Structure 1
């Protein structure tokens, strides 16, 4: 769809949209860059700190087990008692030492509540001694997952506890006890963490998002993972362990690591979508706010457009009324001061234009009236009447009745045509004058034509412009009839609120060029007789009826000529039609 940039509406909407979009884009870009840095640094720093605390907690736990294991080895009191027990031959001493060792084991366990199972394990015999809890059948250190080995100590886990009546996950330590006279690494101190300590240390909720803990052993393989689907145990993660950075991005995950001095590493894997969830939430909120701002901008643009468009439409309506020559229409205000000022000035201009049109129309009407009066007064009526009366008196004295009659008719015709009784007469008076004129012409042409009248009697009292029928009949005599005897028909009837006057002859007819020339002003200079031509009739109709009067000439060679005039009725009665 093509946008019309020439439209005020389009430009207004585009301007308001740009005034909204540009600040939003600038603010969005600045906020995006700033928040992206803040979010990443904040989240990464928080995760790294939390992971560091987890590493420290786990290191402390393993270190505490290492400290306790020293007490249970040959370096500690309990370990020394165990060495004496294993080398003693006295049953009484053995019983005494056994009671003492068990008592000390319980004391150590009591003073270290974060520890769980403690025992001495004999791998060769698969025998367990001095356990503080009942151990499940088939227990063996060799089956435990090695986490790291430092200074002869082995850390295992996470793995299922050796406690027979639990399946919780724990960390454990195995330390060899060297007893004189007994082969090395035939006796081990085995210690586990408390059953609930593992869940406390590796708590997913510490990071505020879904996170997966991964423990890597010394070789970089996964010793433990709480998401076996994505990160199965035994998978090689040495590329993370040996990386120089603490944060890496691989396969849609962010990996945060902490390397322990004990040889193991702890890694937190966070899905990239979860990691950027908060940032994406901000983006969605910003996008929603932007859409709301754009919608408000469009609504405001349309509101402003309506505020501007309605006054413009009112002004356009006033201009169209002026184009339709409606100078007296009521001015409708817009209640907007600036537009009302324009409308007020326009109304003054329209009023002035109306006055000028009325003045011009009046001047033209007076001019036309003066031209008609000039034609009617070209001859001195008083001189003509006196001359004709003298001729008529001489004819009567000499017994010239035909001359007397001719002069009498001609006098009446001149009296009517040159009279000053008014410009509007009744139809009956116009017809009487026409009949006198026809009688005069019949004497002149030796009665070689006939005029027939068909007039509706109810129209005789209607008023029409004076001297309007004679020029039409005169034209039929001069231009319509030839040398042969002709007939002129005058029909006057009413129809549709108009008086229809038709003058028809059976003469030779005229071409279109002859009709046009007949209606022109120049043809009047070649006229003869008393008539002043059809242009006079056209001007009279224009002066009296403006556009409500019509005059039409139809002529065909060999078929005669018909002249039709339609003028409004002055009295509208049902009987007229």
Structure 2
């Protein structure tokens, strides 16, 4: 006992020591890997986002240069008024609009705000109203310089109010008399090109790109409608504080990476916003994998530690497991455990003991089965002499009365009865033979109790050859006569019917109109505890039920129902066997 406790203590110490060292090392490596991988993902996400913003900036710069090229073409046309008519120049300008969806209008005004050339045929506002607008005034005096005016409602026409971005530049043009004059070129653009640039930038799942002017006001935002409706807010304060570069901030509960870059030629700034939880989604996957690997390593470490610590005690543990198996009733094979000499010897002795126990148990089972069969046979033998005594007593009485015909009838029926009862020592007979046996018994009893009862038997022809154990109906009929019909004042009836209950089962019904049984008596018979009944009723029922279950199993047997002053119904349920094979097996 002391040695076993010491062994468990050593095993526990070794297991804990190996597990602590290995798990600590695993956690240290996992922490270092997590930290390095987290930094790498953050840096890569920042670089990737910055590159996307720069690409959008490059595309926007390319688009602005394209607008500048269009304005250069318009300037050249303005200097060729002596070569081309006004309609020709306007036709060339309209051809530019026809090839582009982003330009709304292209117009040249003089310095007072009067139209010189236009792609629109709509009537214009007063020259004074036009010359007072911001895009007009900021371009005056800066010949050669161009300006982009952020989103605004253009008010050139009395009935049209488009939302545009305006390119304006003071240029020189040739008057009709050949002299040079000063004018102001206007190009109005819609948001289609800018919108496509912003939507093409994928910064995670919900990141976006927007533009602000040099005053910090939004030029274009993909969520502009939500901003105007106060459903969405933008962190313009942080953007205006940083002006240029990369920074992270928390806004409305989410950490965001913001990258600001300057757009060439138009004094705008491009702002890229990406959310860190999306950029770092790879870290979550890495963390899940890392946790799984760490847990796997911990489990493997603990298992290995237990294997090492259990190496010495393993043979004894195996023997203990075998003993527990035997304790639970598993005596299928003698146990054998290898290992050191002492454990092997103990295992051999234990195996011999198990073999001896199994042999004794087999002997006990056989003995009990034989004992039960002998008890049933003895009970059946007890019933037969009792009936023989009563029958012979009736024969003697009829002989004394000179009833020779009755004596012959009873002796003949008795001979047939016992011939079937003996059945050459066989326990299995056909249903036809069993029914013939009970018919002879009823003939004898009907002769003894003249005018006391009538009987009927219904056995279908296709069931006659089916096998059954013998003497299962007669005891039931005997109970019906002695304990039911015997006490009737009127004529008694016993009806025997054989049928199929369901596929694989045969139902034998014995119905009488005797005095019946009360609930207590029926309950005792149903539980087949008739040994304590004062009149011995049910002893044949118990014998039949036990013999049926002994041969066929617990799924078969007797079912009894009874009602006082109405009668009793006994159902005998047996399996439907092969008419030939089971009888042949029995004869062997």
Name the TM-score, length of structure 1 as normaliser. Answer: 0.39
Relative contact order: is structure 1 or structure 2 higher (C-alpha 8 Å, sep ≥ 6)? Answer: 2
Which structure has the larger Rg?
A: 1
